[in-house]
Amino acid sequence: MCSLSASLLLPTRLKPAYSDNRSNSSGSLFVANRRSKRKNQSIVPMARLFGPAIFESSKLKVLFLGVDEKKHPSTLPRTYTLTHSDITAKLTLAISHSINNSQLQGWANRLYRDEVVAEWKKVKGKMSLHVHCHISGGHFLLDLFAKFRYYIFCKELPVVLKAFVHGDGNLINNFPELQDAPVWVYFHSNVKEFNRVECWGPLWEATSPDGHRTQTLPETRCVDECSCCFPTVSSIPWSHSLSNEDVTGYSGAQADGTSTPTPEKL
């Protein structure tokens, strides 16, 4: 999968002077670039989040970690962890009961934060897929390019969702009704404008770049113990102080009450 250069999107004063032999040297969101005739080294954004909005199954590696494709996610927790390798230019999708933390180790991941994690939930008897992306918080580079990162995540998420559907194809084939499950996307940011939740419609529509998206909040689970909501605790330990400006009646932590770190500490 090729990539889209940030220099085509950034204002002129922010465009770096790339040399031809360096513009395709990394598969990460950020790449260090030494400008010609200058001593200072700068880090500039490169829109390489999983490549372009084209899904290539040959570049997807799928790991099944203790899950059963015959078990419906309404009875057994099911989580997706998707990461990108700069070395192999391939995607790795782990399907497990919780986040595969081994994929998220190392300095590169802490710098780029280009992973996407998701989990299936049943809320009041209805299935939905909840997807999480880290926009900013953690270090100043993420904060500096928060708007750009939000744009790239939105552009590439249809590819990510296609990877989920393809990688977990047997589950989707066994339970085709999951294609109609709504997809909720959580953008985590310390910038209020980009710290938001969006509904991308049913899964079959969310995989399309032309899908309909609305800024709204998902329905909350039952307060008391019940059998119509599962799981009772989120398997994704990311906090989200929701700040959707057009949504009222919600403030504070995640809908399921999970107590987790703030974006600045991730």
Is pLDDT above 50 for 81? Answer: yes
Instruction: Tell me the C-alpha distance between 82 and 99, whole Å.
Output: 10
Residue 220: name the closest of 184, 183, 259, 256 by CA: 256
Mean pLDDT of 14-39: 37
Cβ neighbours of 62 (radius 10 Å): 16
Q: Mean pLDDT of all residues in the chain?
A: 75
Task: Give mean pLDDT, residues 87-91.
Answer: 82
pLDDT at 52: 53
Q: How confident is the model at residue 127, as a pLDDT?
A: 97
pLDDT tens-digit readout, 40-60: 433 333 444 444 568 899 999
Q: Which two tokens stand for residue 69?
A: 């494709």
Q: What is the pTM of this model?
A: 0.73
Q: What is the distance between the alpha carbons of residues 70 and 131, in angstroms, rounded to a whole number?
A: 22
The answer to whether 264 and 238 have CB atoms below 8 angstroms apart is no
Q: Helix, strand or coil for residue 49?
A: coil
At residue 2, the pLDDT reads 34
Across 189-203, average pLDDT? 95
Q: Which of 31-35, 127-131, 148-152, 181-185 has the lowest mean pLDDT?
A: 31-35
User: For the purposes of burial, counting CB atoms within 10 Å of the CB of 37, is it exposed (0-12), middle (13-18) or buried (19 or more)?
Assistant: exposed
φ, ψ at 95 (rounded to 5°): -110, 115
C-beta of residue 99 within 8 angstroms of C-beta of residue 88: no
List of domains in the chain: 60-207 (3.40.20)
Q: What is the DSSP letter of 43?
A: E
137 by Cβ neighbours in 10 Å (0-12 / 13-18 / 19+) ranks as buried
Band of pLDDT at residue 69, cut at 50, 70 and 90 = confident
CB neighbour burial string for 198-209, b if at least 16 within 10 angstroms, e if fewer: bbbbbbbbbbee
Pick left, alpha or beta for residue 201 (phi over 0 → left; psi -120 to 50 → alpha; otherwise beta): left
pLDDT band at 211 (very low <50, low <70, confident <90, very high): confident
| pLDDT of 153 strictly over 50 | yes
Cα separation, 215 vs 182, in Å, equals: 13
* Sign of the dihedral defined by the CA atoms of residues 63, 127, 240, 161, in that order: positive
DSSP state letter for 9: T
Q: Using 50, 70 and 90 to split pLDDT, how confident is the model at 112?
A: confident
Burial state string for 90-106 with b = 16 or more CB within 10 A and e = fewer than 16: ebbbbbbebbbeebeee
Q: What percent of the chain clears pLDDT 90, i.e. is strictly above it?
A: 46
Q: Is the pLDDT of residue 174 over 60?
A: yes
Adjacent-strand bridge partners of 120: 129
